[in-house]
């Protein structure tokens, strides 16, 4: 009889591979928020404190999160919101409105989305709306109805913030910043943008109502840290069902990361782009080559994935390649 380790589960290879692909895909596609955002601890603390003052103490705020694409702006905000919602008082009171400049292309669409997300369609009814500011004030006033004498705090998240600056007269931005300066309704406005010159796009009246708080996410990643992050991203967690498989997998990943040809390839990726998305795309291509017949990632898989990342799609089409 074969001796099995007490408490350790032994799963068929096929099931292990399915589990590996599910865990790593969720990680690469950012479906799971990391426990701790790496390298942005100070920014995390600053933003969390800012939003907590709005959610708990009713203090209005506005802030911009600025950084290149893939720097982790959305990840930082998600981590902060997760930590913020752990407080019971915040869970009960804080309302959230998420807008995106690519989707809400004018103020009318934005207002409809605000109404929908605040579940105020029944309040609006047949009311004939006037100006945008009257609409917004009416919606925020509607939140005061009920048992609570004061209004519930509202968090407005504006993704692709710079696109809202192209709206006619920047009415949405003006009114949100104007309300955030008044003491009537506690709101926090958080903008996410990849443009460093975003303040230059704002009109004087909008700029004067903005708090000028900015949180910058600029990569200071070194190549050893990048290499360590690749290994961490590909490694399996300690609670993986099959302990032996996880140990063998993690050992093979460590060996791959120590391979000279792999390090040269990763150095090229690091030099061209340090952002998370590009790295995750490379690792996703590596993962797609794993199967029951080939249950580990080899250096050749990383080299092939890199070749696919750097290949010119248009040139391939002209050469008749897939």
| pLDDT tens digits for range 13-59 | 888 888 888 888 888 886 566 667 667 888 999 999 999 998 888 88
pLDDT score of 272? 84
pLDDT score of 148? 43
pLDDT score of 49? 92
- What is the arithmetic mean of pLDDT over 76-100? 89
6 has pLDDT over 70: no
**Contact, 167 vs 106, CB < 8 A?**
yes
pLDDT score of 261? 92
pLDDT score of 10? 73
Supply angle C-alpha 83, 88, 91, rounded to 5. Answer: 70
Residue 80: which of 114, 118, 41, 117 has the closest Cα? 41
**pLDDT above 90: percentage of residues in the chain:** 26
5 has pLDDT over 50: no
pLDDT score of 145? 46
**Contact, 47 vs 80, CB < 8 A?**
yes
pLDDT score of 321? 58
pLDDT averaged over the chain? 83
**Contact, 277 vs 257, CB < 8 A?**
no
Q: Is 250 exposed, middle or buried (0-12, 13-18, 19+ CB in 10 A)?
A: middle
Least-confidence region, from 4-8, 32-36, 70-74, 99-103: 4-8
Number of residues that make up the chain:
322
Global pTM reads 0.75
Identify the three-state secondary structure at position 190.
Answer: strand
């Amino acid at each position: 009889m074969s001796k099995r380790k007490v408490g350790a589960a032994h799963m068929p290879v096929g099931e292990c591979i399915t589990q590996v692909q599910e865990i790593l895909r969720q990680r690469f596609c950012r479906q799971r928020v990391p426990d701790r955002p790496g390298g942005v601890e100070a920014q995390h603390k600053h933003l969390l404190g800012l939003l907590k003052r709005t959610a708990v103490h009713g203090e209005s705020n506005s802030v911009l999160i600025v950084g290149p694409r893939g720097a982790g702006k959305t990840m930082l905000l998600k981590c902060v919101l997760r930590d913020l919602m752990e407080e019971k008082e915040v869970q009960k009171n804080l309302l959230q409105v998420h807008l995106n400049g690519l989707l809400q292309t004018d103020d009318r669409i934005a207002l409809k989305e605000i109404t929908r997300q605040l579940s105020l369609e029944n309040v609006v009814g047949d009311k004939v709306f006037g100006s945008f500011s009257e609409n917004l004030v009416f919606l925020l006033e509607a939140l005061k109805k009920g048992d609570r004498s004061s209004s519930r705090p509202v968090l407005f998240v504006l993704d692709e913030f710079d696109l809202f600056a192209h709206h006619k007269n920047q009415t949405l931005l003006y009114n949100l910043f104007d309300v955030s300066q008044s003491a009537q309704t506690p709101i926090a406005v958080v903008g996410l943008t990849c443009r460093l010159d975003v303040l230059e796009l704002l009109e004087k009246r909008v700029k004067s109502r903005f708090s000028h708080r900015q949180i910058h996410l600029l990569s200071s990643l070194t190549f050893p840290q990048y290499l360590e992050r690749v290994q961490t991203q590909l490694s399996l967690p300690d609670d993986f069902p099959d302990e032996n498989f996880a140990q063998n997998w993690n050992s093979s990943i460590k060996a791959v990361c120590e391979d000279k040809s792999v390090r040269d390839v990763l150095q090229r990726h690091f030099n061209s782009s340090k952002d998370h998305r590009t790295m995750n795309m490379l690792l996703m291509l590596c993962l797609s080559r794993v199967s029951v017949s080939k249950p580990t990632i080899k250096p050749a898989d990383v080299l092939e994935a890199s070749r696919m990342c750097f290949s010119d799609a248009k040139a391939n089409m002209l050469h008749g390649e897939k």
